[in-house]
A and B are shown apart, each in its own frame.
Chain A
Amino acid sequence: METETREIICTLCPMGCRINVEIKDGDVIKIEDAGCNLGRDYSIQEVKNPVRDFFTTVRVEGGRIPVLSVRSTGPAPKNMLMACALELAKIVVPAPVRLGDTLIRNILNLGIDVVATKDIRRLPKFWKHD
């Protein structure tokens, strides 16, 4: 198999090192321009199993606002982000919702849950405040 070179921007600190890696058969065989060892580890992780925090919104019924912000309890594999978003597009959550409420347990068998990141009261949208 051919070797592939890739530039990875390290997100760990403000230096933002642009790390150049050489990949062969899915393995990192050379790492250049990493400013530190954490950056080296990060670049390997980015090649082998890149993960991202997952967050989106889901529809809410009967709430003060029509969408609820949600997040995963841990990072998700990068290539599963869209699949997770499509799972959440299927559901409608009834208000009220409390921050931390679990909406989907073990989404797509990834071992992470999806939880609400805000409270939404059960009110019509243009209800006046007390």
Chain B
Amino acid sequence: MIERRLDIVVIGGGAAGLAAALAAKENGVDSILIIERSEELGGVLPQCIHTGFGLHYFKENLTGPEYISRFIKKVQDSGIECTLETMVLNLTLERQILAVNASQGLMKLQAGAVILAMGCRERSRGALCIPGTRPAGIFTAGTAQRLMDIEGCVPGRKVLILGSGDVGLIMARRFAMEGAEVKGVVEVMPFPGGLDRNLQCLRDFGIPLYLRHAATFIHGSDRVEAVTISRLDDKGQSIAGEEKTIECDTLVLSAGLIPENELSKKAGIKLDPKTGGPLVDENMETYVENIFACGNVVYVHDLVDHVTQEGEVAGRNAARKILGNLPPLKRRISLKAEGNIRYVVPQIISAERPLTLYSRVKRPAFNTKIMMGRNITVHKRVVKPAELVTIELTAERLKDLEEEEKLTVNMDTQ
């Protein structure tokens, strides 16, 4: 078995992992290894062929492959070592990593610091508990996207999409552009799950959006033949007599993403039940010293630009830690989300320096105030569940922060 010692091991070679590795290298660490499960670097971005990436980070409107290729090229040019098609099997609190691939077999790595960048995965049919038969033709949106835009086959001709998250809306447009008949998008909530601007994907092709509806039965023996959807009442219960059976050969699921934390759980890293990811401090360090985390493994982001920036924070701080330049936080203030705030990240702040917090809300609200503790209020014109809400903790605002170890972050809707 191969045994190695490395300063920094990055688990995951997507947007977060690449940014973290580059930042670590730029901050003076050379012994870095990126471990990637797939056969290429880049995570999900090589299959996101639409535009809209990089507007914040590069101030350019790029496609997913264009965005990520800039980082892949940088990683290759900088000589950072990457091992592809390699699966991490185990991680310990002492930062021992057990990994395996087909060419080298098992490898045992001892890392000075570990950066978790495993991303997230999609909720599948099993997780959604949709009754019915078990025919072929049920795909998660990401799988359908991979089939179309990497493997080159359109997985259906008559498509119903369940869930109006961004990936679902984008895939509705993608299927329509490939000449498939998109029968509709079904959403449980009374409002769309994705960004409002992505509703254009449906309107441009006249695709109906069924809000407050659920898929209640999948029909078909070999292949999907139809899906029954039901209108829901205010309590989310299906209304008898309000069912509709839609003929289709494919059901695409876009019903949420889950941070992929099996390794973190095995290692015993404390997770936040609201985000599904590790609890992190403002340096993106988890509750375990020298284990950092960034990107969708921490919480599901809407923009890759933010994932990249967070990866840079994690990579820079992991490097500082290895080089002995990362002093412990003087204060550790725990932030607790309440009311309409679903979660806030990072969950631990020091209030020593200005910082941006990211939070997600449960329901849309207009002309609202976010309150941190008793003294800080931040006005927001609009907040929506599909868009991360940023809270800028400027030096000015931090002066007003009370001396408490725990602070609540809440919302006051007027």
* Interface residue ranges, A against B (CB under 8 Å): 9-11, 14-16, 52-53, 55-57, 59, 65-67, 69-71, 78, 81-82, 85, 99, 117-119, 128-129
Contacts and interface: CB of A to CB of B under 8 A. Distances in A.
Contact of B150 (A55, A65, A70, A117): A65
A85 B197 CA distance: 22
Interface stretch (B14-22, B44-52, B322-330): B44-52
Interface string B366-383: 000000000000000110
Given A11-B200, A14-B195, A14-B382, A82 B177 contact: yes
19 contacts: A9-B197, A11-B200, A53-B61, A55-B49, A55-B51, A65-B152, A66-B151, A67-B149, A67-B152, A69-B63, A71-B49, A78-B204, A81-B177, A82-B177, A99-B66, A117-B49, A117-B65, A118-B46, A129-B85
B347 to A, nearest CB: 24
Contact of B204 (A52, A65, A70, A71): A52
A118 B49 CA distance: 10
B77 interface: no
Nearest to B39: A129
In the A-B complex, the 8 residue pairs with the closest CB atoms:
A16-B196, A11-B197, A67-B152, A66-B152, A69-B49, A118-B65, A53-B51, A117-B65
Interface in B35-74: 39, 46, 49-52, 61, 63, 65-66, 69
A86 B387 CA distance: 34
B167 interface: no
Contacts of A117: 49, 63, 65-66
A10 B197 CA distance: 7
Most chain B beta-carbon neighbours within 10 Å: one of A11, A70, A82: A11
A55 B178 CA distance: 11
Contacts of B52: 53
A69 B177 contact: no
A117 B196 CA distance: 26
Given A15-B381, A99-B66, A55 B152 contact: no
A117 to B, nearest CB: 5
Contacts of A52: 204
A14 B387 CA distance: 8
A69 B65 contact: yes
A85 B50 CA distance: 14
Nearest to B48: A69
B84 interface: yes
A9 B49 contact: no
A69 B200 CA distance: 21
Contacts of A119: 69
Given A53-B51, A65-B150, A16 B195 contact: yes
A128 B51 CA distance: 31
